Every structure is written in structure tokens, then in C-alpha cells.
């Protein structure tokens, strides 16, 4: 259902952003009824012009009016907020699209949690970018009802035991007894992530813990399976919105 809502938001070609907002206004109560996803529209300055109740609550606010007209950098704590806004500006300026981007977001407890984010630019009838629409869906728990669940548990256990080294799709397909295409499809159905996203998630969770210590960032990278410090920094920023150093500094 959330995918259909996102397609409805991002697929329109209005004359203006105001016209689009008027068109989606009747769906406001439907957006508010989705507890595991944040839904939003932003203008060319990356400011919120529409947000559902879930997003408002996760920002620690009581009314949507306190959110409207502000950027993520003004709402979310550093370094999360500035990272989101930087991402927004790239979408608005370069026309980029995010599909199933594994990211850290704030949950109701105000603690970071994993989600899958989709963002797309909104174009007017002349093809000009006039804003962006986005939805971030909380990462769901694994579905043990799938017939391949036992095989995929073994895959997950292998990733968690060997993430500090090289984990290949060849290893994972051998463990699961599946082809690459089957493994990709089954992992999405059971864990709601691709195998590569599963590896990144485990590595970044470990990095999150190590960055709370005094361990040098180069050593953090090595312990999380990255032999290249710059590759670790790029991956960390892509999934969290900020560099490992910025994250550590934000911890005070």
C-alpha cells in the first residue's frame, strides 16, 4: 500500500506545487493512519510542505504546523538532519532518485532505527523540478512463514559471523543452495533487504557501536570489513547521511 501511495505522490505532473498539495489533501487522513512509514513533500528549498502524523511524532512535535516551512536540518538533531537535507538538495538540483535506500532514521523513541527510503523529484507539466516526494518505511522483522526461511537464517548467520572479512554472493548462494536470482528474491521477501544490504546493515551496526569508543576510525573500518578507509566513509555516509567522524563528533 505504501508503494502505491508513493507512486501517486511522485507520479503527478501538476502546474505547481500548490496544485499538487490541493490534490493530495483528501488523502491526508490515509497518510496519518500509517504508523510504520513517514510520508512527506518538500519544496525547492527542501522545506516540508506536507508531512504525515508519524513524521511529526518522530520529530518530537505535536502539530504538523511546527514542521512545515522547515528543512530536515532544522528539525532533526545533528548530524542526521544536515545529512537528510544534503540528500534532498542533490535530488532537487540533480534530479536524482532514491529507491530502497537503507538508512538510519529516528523512531518514536527518538533512537535511530533502520528504514528503506524512496525519494523522487516532482516535475511540473513543463518537466521542471518543483519539489520532491518521499517515503521512509521502517524495516520490518523477518518473515518466518516463507518456505526458504531456514536457508536464509543460515545466510544471515554467515554474514554476522564473517562481516569483518570478505563476504561474497558466491558464498551466500552456496550456503543457501540457491541461484543468485533466487537468493536476491528470497532475501527481499524474508528480510526485506537484498543480500548486499544485509551485509551493509550488519557492518554499519557494528561501526555504530565502535564509534562510541576511542578506537581510531581507520581501525573501525578494518574491523567492519572495509580495507579501504575512504570506501568505509562513503558507505557510512550513504547509509546514515554523515561521515564516521561527523557521527563521532555528534556524540559529544
Which is it for strands 112-123 and 98-106: parallel, antiparallel or unpaired? Answer: antiparallel
Phi, psi of 106 (to 5 degrees): -85, 135
Write the pLDDT tens digit of every residue in 34-85: 888 899 999 999 999 999 999 998 888 999 999 999 999 999 877 678 878 9
In contact, 108 and 58? CB cutoff 8 Å: yes
Instruction: Name the residue ranges covered by the structural domains of the chain.
Output: 2-138, 149-250
Give 174's contacts (C-beta < 8 A, 6+ positions apart): none
User: What pLDDT, on the 0 to 100 scale, is given for residue 11?
Assistant: 64
Residues 27-65 as b or e (16 or more Cβ within 10 Å = b): eeeebbebeebbbbbbbbebbbbbbbbbbbebbeeeebe
- pLDDT of res. 237: 83
- Cα(26)–Cα(34) distance, rounded to whole angstroms? 15
Per-residue pLDDT at 6 exceeds 90: no
| Rounded Cα gap, residues 5 and 148, in angstroms | 30
The angle subtended at Cα 167 by Cα 218 and Cα 158, nearest 5°, is 110
Task: Give the mean model confidence (pLDDT) for residues 22-37.
Answer: 87
In this model, does residue 111 exceed pLDDT 70? Answer: no
**Whole-number Å distance between alpha carbons of 241 and 58:** 17
Tell me what the mean pLDDT of segment 152-158 comes to.
93
C-alpha cell at 210: 565502535
User: Is the predicted pLDDT of residue 158 greater than 70, yes or no?
Assistant: yes
With beta carbons less than 8 A apart as the criterion, state whether 56 and 64 touch: yes
> Per CATH, the architecture of 2-138 is what?
2-Layer Sandwich (3.30)
Q: How far apart are CA 227 and CA 62, in angstroms?
A: 45
How many separate helices (H) and strands (E) can be counted in the chain? 13, 5
Write the pLDDT tens digit of every residue in 169-186. 999 999 999 999 999 999
The reply to whether 149-250 shares the fold of 2-138 is no
DSSP 141: P
| pLDDT interval class at 164 (50, 70, 90) | very high
Decide if pLDDT at 150 tops 60.
yes
Taking all residues of the chain, what is their mean pLDDT, rounded to a whole number?
87
Q: What is the pLDDT of residue 123?
A: 93
181-240 pLDDT, tens digit each: 999 999 988 888 999 999 999 998 899 889 989 999 999 999 999 988 899 998 888 877
Cell 561527523 belongs to 246
How would CATH label the architecture of 149-250? Answer: Orthogonal Bundle (1.10)
Which single residue is written with the C-alpha cell 532518485? 97
The torsion defined by the Cα of 181, 186, 187 and 189, in degrees rounded to 10, comes to 130
Amino acid at each position: 500500500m505504501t508503494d502505491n501511495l508513493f507512486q501517486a505522490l511522485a507520479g503527478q505532473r501538476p502546474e505547481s506545487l500548490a496544485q499538487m498539495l490541493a490534490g493530495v489533501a483528501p488523502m491526508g487522513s490515509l497518510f496519518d493512519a500509517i504508523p510504520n512509514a513517514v510520508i512527506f513533500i518538500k519544496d525547492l528549498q527542501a522545506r516540508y510542505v506536507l508531512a504525515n502524523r508519524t513524521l511529526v511524532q518522530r520529530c518530537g512535535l505535536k502539530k504538523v504546523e511546527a514542521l512545515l516551512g522547515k528543512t530536515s536540518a532544522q528539525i532533526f538533531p545533528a548530524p542526521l538532519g544536515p545529512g537528510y537535507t544534503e540528500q534532498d538538495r542533490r535530488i532537487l538540483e540533480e534530479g536524482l532518485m532514491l529507491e530502497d535506500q537503507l538508512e538510519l532514521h529516528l523512531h518514536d523513541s527518538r533512537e535511530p532505527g533502520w528504514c528503506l527510503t524512496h525519494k523522487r523529484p516532482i516535475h511540473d507539466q513543463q518537466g521542471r523540478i518543483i519539489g520532491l516526494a518521499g517515503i521512509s518505511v521502517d524495516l520490518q522483522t523477518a518473515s518466518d512463514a516463507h518456505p526458504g526461511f531456514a536457508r536464509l537464517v543460515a545466510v544471515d548467520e554467515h554474514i554476522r559471523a564473517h562481516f569483518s572479512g570478505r563476504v561474497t554472493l558466491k558464498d551466500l548462494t552456496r550456503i543457501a543452495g540457491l541461484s543468485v536470482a533466487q537468493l536476491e528474491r528470497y532475501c527481499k521477501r524474508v528480510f526485506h533487504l537484498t543480500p548486499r544490504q544485509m551485509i551493509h546493515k550488519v557492518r554499519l551496526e557494528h561501526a555504530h557501536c565502535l564509534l562510541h569508543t576511542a578506537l581510531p576510525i581507520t581501525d573501525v573500518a578494518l574491523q567492519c570489513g572495509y580495507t579501504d578507509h575512504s570506501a568505509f566513509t562513503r558507505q557510512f555516509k550513504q547509509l546514515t547521511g554523515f561521515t564516521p567522524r561527523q557521527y563521532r563528533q555528534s556524540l559529544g
